[in-house]
Amino acid sequence: MARILTGIQSSNIPHLGNILGAILPAIELTHLNNNEAFYFIADLHSLSSIKNAEFIRQSTYAVSATWIAFGLDYNKHYFYRQSRIPEVCELTWYLNCFTPYPMLANAHSFKEKSKQLSDVNAGLFIYPVLMAADILLYDADIVPVGKDQVQHLEMTRDIASIFNRTLQKDVFVLPQAKIKKEVMIVPGIDGQKMSKSYNNFINIFLPEKELKKVIMSIITDSTPLKEPKHPDTCNVFKLYALLADKNDVETMRQNYLKGNYGYGQAKTALCELILDKFKEQRKIFSELMTNTEKIEQILVLGEKKTRAIAQQKLQQIRAILGYS
Ligand code: ADP
Ligand code: TRP
């Protein structure tokens, strides 16, 4: 049994890439080896780039509803909002005082964001320390993350080691990153990696008509209807292949290769597949989003359980630092 932990920022409705690349694999991990999962909404991290309360609130609900719709067992595991566990902020301060300044100044993601964003605030700078606190507060063993977060995990391990070494106590567990294999890069409607930042994402929870419009806008080449087409370079096919079962994928491949099969038909098949495959999840998501009280109830229960663990760990840390 291991303790797995991961967070997703509340910065939009999760898209198909987030679902296939992060949420589903994380839920699968909860079924292995009787693992114990801490899955949370990193809504404090979102504030480093978003200053719109209503947007953060709605995104928090949307991310939560997605976890629930895809089957996270929230009664068995720990499911919570980062902002409702204030212990994480106190721990962030302690860890700040053990974090070498150059470590933060050299972080790739800070350097990149500080070039792109007009609001380069101190929150953005200490972002990795808050992330370290998220992880170390719960003695997490395994942290599933995307490639872009690997350096943050290394920093977490470094900060934990410096703390343990300085105080000559094994206070913190050094977590392992579990990096998702990049076989699962979900392409967006323009063929680049699907991402909020490129505005090329598919929101599978859209009403049918709007979803259809998005699927119809997937970029394809201009091979005429009659001619054979290349499945492996086509975005519609790639998305279909990620979702359909083997036989259906093979049938579509043959359709592409033999010609007289248009991209419009392939797009219609993809749209129908999404509607059918995610029928149940779409239903649960929309019910929860129209009854956010239910989401609140689930989160509040999770936060109560989680906070008890956080408080216990923080007590231990305070004592070691001389604050109790
Ligand atoms: P975005 O690029 O839309 O801002 P994030 O960086 O917030 O997405 O990613 C959240 C999680 O979803 C990460 O674990 C990341 O690896 C995964 N993810 C995001 N986009 C994709 C994609 N196109 N294919 C596979 N996984 C993805
Ligand atoms: N920074 C992560 C991201 O943007 C989200 C996150 C916050 C996280 N705290 C975490 C992920 C702790 C794993 C563990 O994707």
Mean pLDDT over 236-251 rounds to 97
Residues in the chain: 324
Q: How confident is the model at residue 179 (pLDDT cuts 50, 70, 90)?
A: confident
Judge if the beta carbon of residue 6 lies within 6 A of ligand 1. no
Q: Is the pLDDT of residue 146 over 80?
A: yes
**For the CA of 7, the nearest ligand:** 2
Q: Is the pLDDT of residue 182 over 60?
A: no
What separation in Å is there between the alpha carbon of 146 and the centre of ligand 1?
A: 7
pLDDT above 90 coverage of the chain, percent: 94
Helices (H), the chain: 16-18, 24-30, 43-46, 53-69, 87-96, 101-105, 108-116, 122-136, 150-167, 208-216, 235-243, 246-258, 263-277, 279-290, 292-321
Q: Is the pLDDT of residue 184 over 80?
A: no
What residue ranges do the domains of the chain occupy?
3-185+292-321, 208-277
Q: How confident is the model at residue 136, as a pLDDT?
A: 98
Residue ranges around ligand 2 (CB below 6 Å): 5-7, 9, 42, 45, 131, 134-135, 143, 145, 149
Do residues 50 and 226 touch, judged by C-beta distance below 8 A? no
Residue nearest to atom 10 of ligand 1 (CA): 18
Mean pLDDT over 129-140 rounds to 98
Name the nearest CA neighbour of 39 among 155, 135, 167.
Answer: 135
Do residues 74 and 298 touch, judged by C-beta distance below 8 A? yes
Mean pLDDT over 65-69 rounds to 98
Q: For residue range 269-295, what is the model confidence (pLDDT) as tens digits?
A: 999 999 999 999 999 999 999 999 999
pLDDT above 70 coverage of the chain, percent: 98
CA distance 287 to 201: 22
CA–CA–CA angle 59, 47, 85 (5° rounding): 80
Q: How confident is the model at residue 147 (pLDDT cuts 50, 70, 90)?
A: confident
Q: How confident is the model at residue 197, as a pLDDT?
A: 87
Judge if the beta carbon of residue 7 lies within 6 A of ligand 1. no
Judge if the beta carbon of residue 195 lies within 6 A of ligand 1. yes
Would you tell me how many other CB atoms lie within 10 Å of the CB of residue 174? 15
Write down the pTM of the prediction.
0.96
Residue nearest to atom 14 of ligand 2 (CA): 6
Q: For residue range 90-114, what is the model confidence (pLDDT) as tens digits?
A: 999 999 999 999 999 999 999 999 9
CA distance 284 to 281: 5
For domain 208-277, the question of CATH label 1.10.240.10 is answered with yes
For domain 3-185+292-321, the question of CATH label 3.40.1190.20 is answered with no
Judge if the beta carbon of residue 197 lies within 6 A of ligand 1. yes
Tokens of 59: 């995104």
Atom of ligand 1 nearest to the CA of 21: 26
CA distance 184 to 167: 41
Tokens of 69: 């719709």
Mean pLDDT over 183-199 rounds to 89
User: Which residue among 15, 18, 113, 197 is best mutated to probe the pocket of ligand 1, counting the most ligand atoms within 8 A of its Cβ?
Assistant: 18
Q: Is the pLDDT of residue 183 over 60?
A: no
Atom of ligand 2 nearest to the CA of 45: 7
What separation in Å is there between the alpha carbon of 250 and the centre of ligand 2?
A: 37
